[in-house]
Amino acid sequence: MSNKKVFYFYNPDVGNFHYGPGHPMKPHRLSVIHSLVLNYGLNKKMQVYRPYRASAHDMCRFHADDYIEFLQRVTPQNIQGYTKYLTNFNVGDDCPVFEGLFDFCSMYTGASLEGATKLNHKCCDIAINWSGGLHHAKKFEASGFCYVNDIVIAILELLKYYSRVLYIDIDVHHGDGVQEAFYLTDRVMTVSFHKYGSYFFPGTGDMYEIGADSGRYYSVNVPLKEGIDDLSYYQVFKPVIQYVMDFFRPTAIVLQCGADSLDGDRLGRFSLSTRGHGDCVKLVRDFNVPLLAVGGGGYTLRNVARCWTYETSLLVDEVISNELPYTEYLEYFAPDFTLHPEVVSRQENANTKQYLDSIVRHVYDNLKMIQHSPSVQMQDVPGDMMPTEEAAMMDDLDPDVRVSQMEEDRRVEPTNEFYNGDKDQDRGSSDNNEI
């Protein structure tokens, strides 16, 4: 068992929002994932936090004030009064106004921000926020189902303590919002593996988008064609990430684990299995660099839930059964009820070995141009964006309750404490008669 300390951020209300009928983005997937995490017992292997809720002030670290003010004020009831702003801020079909919109943004952004803060203070080695990862949001507008770019806000927080932050994106769509935010700096390297071409959203992410000014060669793009499978994906992922680690030497990593790169996704065009997707997470985990893992895309709910549950098990280094435990959502996973369903690809892999090799060569040639491990001058570190509420919360605990829910969530079960099930008492085989 790994001795990494893992913090898991989850607000029970974050899965209750609804983008609207027919919209592919389903926040409900977060409730299903959390249910699986609990029923696999993974919550006992990490500390569970009900996260901080980001304020408008937190969001304005990156976004424009008038855009965040609009998100705070607009509702489905008063939308007529904001008609002229809808086009300005790209709010409409893809990014609709729904009930509780700002609350939703506040929850997922606050969780990423708190994860970054905990990493800054070395409280944990890995922070997980599956509700985050909304990588398309821009400074002045919403984009691609994303309103507030929690990733950019978390990276800005990490930069207070970490000299070099690496952003890795394995969503099927290009991580354009994060790339754009850090396109001119050498302190953040953005690496995105995504489907490119044939007018696929967002239309950016060509391999020749490499950054500019101080950030030249610090944007790495791996444009892939449809149908890529586990073998081909890992053939390009492993060497590219190894080169990035060797040349950039990040002191912290943010990993966006978009699950729309899985086979059978409603919007994606790749053919990855949950195991293949998880292999990328495992590779990044094994670099032993402080890590913030966030969610992202994923539009076939049962596949997203399987994927991020499996990746939670990888991040806490626990082996879990392929047979799904009983949960209130079990019927979602019919007919196989397994964690790793068989991949029956809808399309041919259009990525030849020669094409993938040429991308790896291109990335390597560009990385050779960068200054090894750019350094940062000494400076005063600004205060944390989010207040430290831990002490106040501890003061509010009921003295008549022996173990509060908060304390229970943060207790990590030692691996040698007890066996589950039939072997709970004797620690031996259930087949022998030893007392």
Residues 6+ apart with CB under 8 A from 433: none
Q: Residue 222 in contact with residue 355, Cβ under 8 Å? A: no
- Is 22 annotated as a binding-site member? no
Overall size of the chain counted in residues: 435
User: 261, 262, 255, 259: which is closest to 294 by C-alpha?
Assistant: 255
The span from the CA of 191 to the CA of 169, in Å, is 6
| Catalytic-labelled residue, pool 136, 174, 194, 277 | 136
73 closest CA partner among 53, 109, 102: 102
Query: What residues in the chain have per-residue pLDDT under 70?
Result: 1-2, 373, 375, 377-380, 385-411, 414-435
Contact by Cβ (8 Å): 313, 40: yes
For 154, the 3-state DSSP assignment is: helix
Q: Is 279 labeled as ligand-binding?
A: no
Q: Residue 321: how many CB atoms within 10 A of its CB?
A: 10
Answer yes or no: is 424 a known binding residue: no
Give the pLDDT of residue 435: 37
DSSP letters, 224-284, are E-TT--HHHHHHHHHHHHHHHHHHH--SEEEEE--GGGBTT-SS----B-HHHHHHHHHHH
Is 171 annotated in some ligand binding site? yes
Crossing angle between the packed helical segments 150-158 and 101-120, to the nearest 10 degrees: 20
Side-chain half-sphere exposure of 388, counting CA atoms within 13 A: 7
Which pLDDT score, from 0 to 100, does residue 389 have?
Answer: 52
> Which pLDDT score, from 0 to 100, does residue 344 have?
83
Three-state secondary structure string covering 173-193:
CCCHHHHHHCCCCCCEEEEEE
Cβ neighbours, 10 Å, residue 226: 20
Classify residue 432 by its DSSP letter. S
| Residue 172 vs residues 161, 164, 168, 222, 243: alpha-carbon distances, Å | 30, 25, 12, 11, 22
Looking from the CA of 81 toward its CB, the CA atoms found within 13 Å total: 7
From CA 240, how far away is CA 360, in angstroms rounded?
6
- Class (C level, CATH) for 6-417: alpha beta
CA distance 164 to 261: 27
- For tokens 């994860």, the residue is 115
Q: Is 150 annotated as a binding residue?
A: no
Tell me how far apart the alpha carbons of residues 230 and 196 are, in angstroms, rounded to a whole number.
Answer: 18
Is there a contact between 113 and 385 (Cβ–Cβ < 8 Å)?
yes
Tell me the CA end-to-end span of the chain in Å, nearest whole number. 28
Residue 65 is assigned to a ligand binding site: no
Give residues with Cβ within 8 angstroms of 380, minimum separation 6: none
The CA distance from 270 to 229, in Å, is 7
Rounded distance between C-alpha atoms, residue 96 and residue 74, angstroms: 11
Q: Which two tokens stand for residue 85?
A: 């702003």
pLDDT of residue 427: 47
SS3 222: strand
Provide the residue type at 3 as one letter: N
d(CA 254, CA 165): 7
Identify the three-state secondary structure at position 144: coil
**All structural domains of the chain with their residue ranges:** 6-417
Say whether 136 is catalytic.
yes
